[in-house]
Amino acid sequence: MRQILALLVLAAVLAFQPARAAEKEILLGADNPGGSYYLYGGGISTWINEHSKTLRITSQTTRGSVENARLLSSGRLDLGLVNAIATYQQTTGTGQFKGAASDRLRGVAVLDSAPLHIVTYPSTGIKTLADLANKRVSIGAPGSGSATTANYLFPLAGLSGKVRVQNLGFSESASNLRDGNVDAFFAASALPLPAVVDLASTHAIVLLDIPSDLIAGLHKESPFYQPFEIPAGTYSSVSQPVHTVAVSSLLIARADTPDDVITELLTQLYTPEALSYMRSVYKAWNPSPGAELFKDIKTPLHPAALKFYQSKGMIK
């Protein structure tokens, strides 16, 4: 009886192997816990793994946009969630990628706009950006979109060398603010940012405005920083709209990612069911071709993505 059972199990395993062997293993760079990219990565991998017969995606925790761009360029990721600034800088060899331009990035989709949050408690006495001088401020994990934006913003605000900078991920930043180990933190993520939602559920919080002249300065420094208003009521105790800047969140592939991978990925993601599911994961999800944006940031659409969008009438 045991021999018969063993043979039946072996037969089942052998029967299952061809289907599994047909799947292509894809590594997707996401972010650290607490941000939208972390949720997007988990949502994309779950949806694709449940619905595709040819792809299997693993979402990898990373330090965010800049690291994902580097890992894509070095061939260590197949797909990555990367903001528009890091994508542009990697492609052009500017900013954090100075002298290391790469032509290996290709656009797949624009996912959302990620506004910068500057979060503190009323008890810190911090009411304006200038009040961050001599304060302990987490600007996000090294290589993250929020850290990149802080490094642009501090010189414009006259805060270079005046802020006691820490580099913590979103969840770590929120925990350290709660515990009194930092006075404020930066976090760039689509609305609502989970770490801030959690923090606001137990404490009154303050979100700092960026003055209009600094918003204009950021936009001049890089056209991918766009003015953004966080609506009143997005977070508990924040009853007024907050003026800040945002950059687009992108799904990026390597130039040599096979066409059939991109086609299957987009086919599975652009369905009403996938849209509903991904918005249940994170409601800011709003994928689009973004042809003009990718043109502006010098990053071509992946040929298979372009062909897919043209076949659907989404790009002429």
Give the pLDDT score at 283. 87
Helix (H) / strand (E) element for 38: namely: helix 36-51
Phi, psi of 247 (to 5 degrees): -125, 160
Give the pLDDT score at 17. 46
Residue whose pair of structure tokens reads 């042809």 in the numeric block: 291
45 is written with which tokens?
């991998």
Phi, psi of 174 (to 5 degrees): -65, -40
DSSP state of 163: S
Q: Do domains 17-113+248-311 and 115-247 have the same CATH topology?
A: yes
pLDDT digits (tens, 9 = 90+) for 12-36: 444 444 444 468 999 999 998 877 8
Length of the chain: 316
Q: Are 68 and 252 in contact (CB under 8 A)?
A: yes
User: What whole-number distance in Å separates Cα of residue 193 and Cα of residue 121?
Assistant: 16
* SS3 sequence of 210-270: CCHHHHHHHHHHCCCCEEEEECCCCCCCCCCCEEEEEEEEEEEEECCCCHHHHHHHHHHHC
Choose among 161, 163, 173, 104: nearest CA to 132. Answer: 163
Burial class of residue 76, CB neighbours in 10 A (0-12, 13-18, 19+): middle
SS3 of residue 102 by DSSP? coil
User: What whole-number distance in Å separates Cα of residue 149 and Cα of residue 87?
Assistant: 14
User: What whole-number distance in Å separates Cα of residue 188 and Cα of residue 118?
Assistant: 9
313 is written with which tokens?
């009438």
Residues 6+ positions from 50 with CB-CB distance below 8 Å: none
Choose among 255, 242, 248, 179: nearest CA to 206. Answer: 242
Domain boundaries in the chain?
17-113+248-311, 115-247
Residue whose pair of structure tokens reads 């939602």 in the numeric block: 197
Residues 6+ positions from 153 with CB-CB distance below 8 Å: 129, 159, 210, 214, 218
Low-confidence ranges of the chain (pLDDT < 50): 2-21
* Integer CA distances (angstroms), 36 to 31, 220, 233, in order: 8, 27, 19
Give the pLDDT score at 9. 40
Q: CATH classification of 17-113+248-311, choosing from 3.40.190.10, 3.30.565.10, 3.40.50.970, 3.40.190.290?
A: 3.40.190.10
Give the pLDDT score at 293. 87
Please name the fold of domain 115-247: D-Maltodextrin-Binding Protein; domain 2 (3.40.190)
59 is written with which tokens?
């979402």
